[in-house]
Amino acid sequence: MKSMKNLLKGAVAIVAVFFSTQFANAQQKIGHINFAEIISATSDYKTAEGQLKTLSETKTKEIQGMVTMLQAKQKEGTDKLRTRSEANKDTLDPELNKLGQEIQDMQTRIQTSQQTAQEELQKKEDELITPIQRKVADAVNAVSKEKGMAYVFDISSTNIPYFQGGEDLTAAVKSKLGISATAAPAVPAKK
């Protein structure tokens, strides 16, 4: 009889723990943010975007200058090829070969410069954007803790096909970062 009572007490305790866990889970607060909107509304992001645009334009001009020189060499080669005849081929062929090699070298330099420019832009973007992302993530964590959130979803990047309810923390995080809640996000630069 005593073991039956203990068994019954144990079963009641397990049921109580189960229901209290379910009740606690039901009380967990869920929120969402738009991380991309917050980042693009920061003044740091706008500054970084300007720096990246300037760097991109500089690299584009450098490469365009190289392309212009390449086009001039190609035109020179085409013009020399038009004047080639049986009489001047011994003189002109070595010049055309040299010009062909110069054109090939220029094409290689342009390709290398394009790749290097892309890598520099990516490195600069990482250098500028990573601290902003960390700053915003810290603000999201702080606001989430202040509001007692159990889960906060990023609706800008997470595949959440439907959500209803939950607390939108975007404005609170913007406020924590000193961004006006009505501040329009920056328009992403076209790449």
Contact partners, residue 138, CB within 8 Å, separation at least 6 = none
C-alpha 156/C-alpha 163 separation (Å) is 13
**Three-class secondary structure of residue 69 per DSSP:** helix
Owning domain of residue 26: 2-176
**pLDDT tens readout for residues 35-47:** 999 999 999 999 9
**Is the distance from CB of 35 to CB of 135 less than 8 angstroms?**
no
- Quick check: is 31 in a domain? yes
The pair phi, psi for residue 100, each rounded to 5°, is -60, -40
Percent of the chain with pLDDT over 90: 54
- Quick check: is 187 in a domain? no
In this prediction, residue 119 carries a pLDDT of 97
**pLDDT tens readout for residues 107-149:** 999 999 999 999 999 999 999 999 999 999 999 999 999 999 9
Mean pLDDT of 65-73: 96
Joined together, the tokens standing for residue 72 give 């001039």
Total number of residues shown for the chain: 191
Number of domains into which the chain is organized: 1
- Quick check: is 94 in a domain? yes
- Quick check: is 67 in a domain? yes
**Is the distance from CB of 137 to CB of 129 less than 8 angstroms?**
no
**Does residue 164 or residue 112 have the better pLDDT?**
112
**Does residue 9 or residue 124 have the better pLDDT?**
124
| Bridge partners, residue 167, by sequence | 31
- Quick check: is 182 in a domain? no
Q: What is the pTM of this model?
A: 0.68
